[in-house]
């Protein structure tokens, strides 16, 4: 399964709170960061460890550390920025690549208006972050850009996914795993996830 719905009670509780229609910008932002941290925890569970010896207070001691893995976090502008600090809390040494995409409201197709990638993408794990996987057009376009630059280990974190997006992403990039806090019912005619969160970018930035 390319899209993994995380069942952890903390994730379920927090994503439920985010659905409140009159939630404040402050609370929505805080919960976005908290769920992002928990999704990052799940998505990195298979990172390999290696042993190293350090000088502990009680003498030389063997500890585990993550085995030389380079990570780039890839927020999709603009709403993906809301998840960035939470993910970087977990991986403070990760580099950040940025992709600017906005959905055309008529066609629902993503329009690329900016991208800036870090180097050595062929050696990195990319963790794409975006709160919403609706049609999956934005996610598929971002994965296409990363693959074109040689990235081989691509993972994604989204807060809410629509079944239509799950199907499209799985068909386009079956090897890319995507962790989500919820797979919702469907997309409405405007391409919004139902029940969903509404417009995640507007809620994070306080626009509209
Ligand atoms: C939203 C969301 C995703 C995209 C999902 O961004 O943050 O990037 O739509 O839709 P899709 O799966 O159908 O592509 P939006 O284009 O509204 O831009 P914003 O982040 O600037 O608000
Ligand atoms: N983008 C959003 O912000 N929300 C949706 O439901 C779909 C796309």
Query: What digits encode the pLDDT tens for the residues 34-79?
Result: 999 999 999 999 999 999 999 999 999 999 999 987 999 999 999 9
Give the pLDDT score at 102. Answer: 87
> Atom of ligand 1 at shortest distance to CA of 205?
22
Percent of all residues in the chain with a pLDDT value above 70, rounded to a whole number? 100
Give the pLDDT score at 192. Answer: 97
**Which residue owns the Cα nearest ligand 1 atom 3?**
132
Mutate to test the pocket of ligand 2, among 82, 163, 193, 194 (most ligand atoms within 8 A of CB): 193
Give the pLDDT score at 68. Answer: 80
Q: Judge whether 136 is annotated as a binding position.
A: yes
Give the pLDDT score at 1. Answer: 61
Q: Which of 50-59, 60-69, 80-89, 125-134 has the lowest mean pLDDT?
A: 60-69
CATH class of 3-205: alpha beta
Q: What is the mean pLDDT of residues 81-100?
A: 97
User: Is the confidence at residue 177, as pLDDT, over 70?
Assistant: yes
**Which residue owns the Cα nearest ligand 1 atom 2?**
132
Cα–ligand 1 centroid distance for 66 (angstroms): 32
Q: Judge whether 83 is annotated as a binding position.
A: no
User: Is the confidence at residue 143, as pLDDT, over 70?
Assistant: yes
Q: What is the mean pLDDT of residues 145-163?
A: 98
Give the pLDDT score at 125. Answer: 97
Q: Give residue limits of the domains in the chain.
A: 3-205
Cα–ligand 2 centroid distance for 83 (angstroms): 15
Closest CA to 138 of 113, 119, 163: 113
Q: Quick one: pLDDT band at residue 14, thresholds 50, 70, 90?
A: very high
Q: What is the mean pLDDT of the chain?
A: 96
Q: Judge whether 86 is annotated as a binding position.
A: no
Q: Judge whether 61 is annotated as a binding position.
A: no
Cα–ligand 2 centroid distance for 201 (angstroms): 8
Mutate to test the pocket of ligand 1, among 3, 134, 190 (most ligand atoms within 8 A of CB): 134
């Amino acid at each position: 399964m390319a899209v993994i719905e995380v069942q952890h009670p903390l994730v379920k509780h927090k994503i439920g709170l985010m659905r409140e229609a009159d939630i404040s910008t402050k609370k929505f932002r805080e919960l976005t960061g908290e769920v992002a941290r928990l999704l990052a925890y799940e998505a990195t569970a298979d990172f390999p460890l290696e042993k190293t010896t350090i000088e502990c207070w009680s003498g030389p001691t063997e500890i585990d550390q993550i085995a030389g893995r380079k990570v780039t976090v890839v927020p999709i502008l603009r709403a993906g920025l809301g998840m960035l600090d939470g993910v970087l809390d977990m991986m403070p040494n990760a580099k950040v690549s940025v992709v600017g995409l906005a959905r055309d409201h008529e066609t629902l197709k993503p329009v690329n208006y900016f991208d800036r990638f870090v180097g050595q993408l062929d050696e990195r794990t990319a963790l794409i972050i975006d709160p919403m996987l609706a049609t999956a057009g934005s996610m598929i376009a971002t994965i296409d850009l990363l693959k074109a630059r040689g990235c081989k280990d691509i993972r994604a974190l989204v807060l809410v996914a629509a079944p239509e997006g799950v199907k499209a992403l799985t068909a386009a990039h079956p090897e890319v795993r995507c962790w989500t806090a919820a797979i919702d019912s469907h997309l409405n005619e405007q391409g919004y996830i139902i029940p969903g969160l509404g417009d995640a970018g507007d809620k994070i930035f306080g626009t509209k």
